[in-house]
Homo-oligomer: A and B are copies of this chain.
Amino acid sequence: MGLIKDTYPSALLEEAVEAIGSLPGIGRRSALRLALHLLRQPAENVHRFTDAVNHLRDDARYCKTCMMISDGEECSICSDKSRDRRTICVVENIRDVMSIENTGQYHGLYHVLGGIISPINGIGPSDLTIAELVSRVAGLSEDDPDSVEVIMALSGDVEGETTAFYIYRQISRFGVKVTSLARGLGFGADLEYADELTLGRSIVSRQPFKA
């Protein structure tokens, strides 16, 4: 690395490689490859690329209801009147929303936490949109709380469980239904290769056989 750094033929190239290499998962070698690629592209293509990145960072807004990235005040999902407005699926980030939307199985709304409680990474409840979720649930539960469902769609690791539990303690008092994603063997998964925790859970929460 040091050696490579020492022999950059151009400060402009070095700065671009540093910048590209600062992206997660892109090492210095890939960064150099990408920089030389961009150098070979027509200027307008490169500007279209950098403009798109700048626009995203400068002009992106967040839905006032679910905190998802949105081009307007309210995202396309929250403003879709055909969706079940009393079911809220709590997810860590936008990618999770996109994954669940891709299943076509969910017709409620979302709440994007913007992260997960992680003491190791110094992320506490106040760094997430939990307060917004709580007041949102409070509002919904004012009439007929039984008809409100909050689905915890967080990862199955310790941090996900911790976050789900923290949120549960905040909203359970409103008497709304709180559920979480079913855990078990993936469809078509081979028993032999399932980790013990997943397998164990799939036994405990076994379901009536459907023939």
Contact mask A56-82 → B, CB, 8 Å, 1/0? 111110000000111100011100000
Mark contacts of A1-26 with chain B using CB atoms, 8 A cut-off: 1 yes-contact digit, 0 otherwise. Answer: 00110011111110110111011110
Of A30-38, A131-139, A159-167, A168-176, which binds chain B?
A: A30-38
A93 contacts the other chain (Cβ, under 8 Å)?
Answer: yes
How many A residues are at the interface, by size bracket?
Answer: 35 or more
Choose, from A45-53, A141-149, A178-186, A198-206, the stretch at the interface.
Answer: A45-53
Contacts of A30 in B (CB 8 A): 25
Interface residue A97 (Cβ < 8 Å from any Cβ of B): yes
B-chain residues with CB within 8 Å of residue A207 when the two chains form the complex: none
A7 proximity list for chain B (CB < 8 A): 98, 101-102
* Interface membership of A210, Cβ < 8 A: no
Pick the contact of A57: B3, B41, B75, B93 (CB < 8 A): B41
Whether B33 pairs with A69 at a CB distance below 8 angstroms is no
CA distance A34 to B22 in the complex (A): 11
Also in contact, A43 and B18, with CB within 8 A (given A3-B102, A69-B10, A77-B9): no
Q: Which B residue's beta carbon lies closest to that of A102?
A: B3
Q: State the Cβ distance, A2 to closest chain B Cβ, in Å.
A: 10
A50 to B56, CA, bound (A): 12
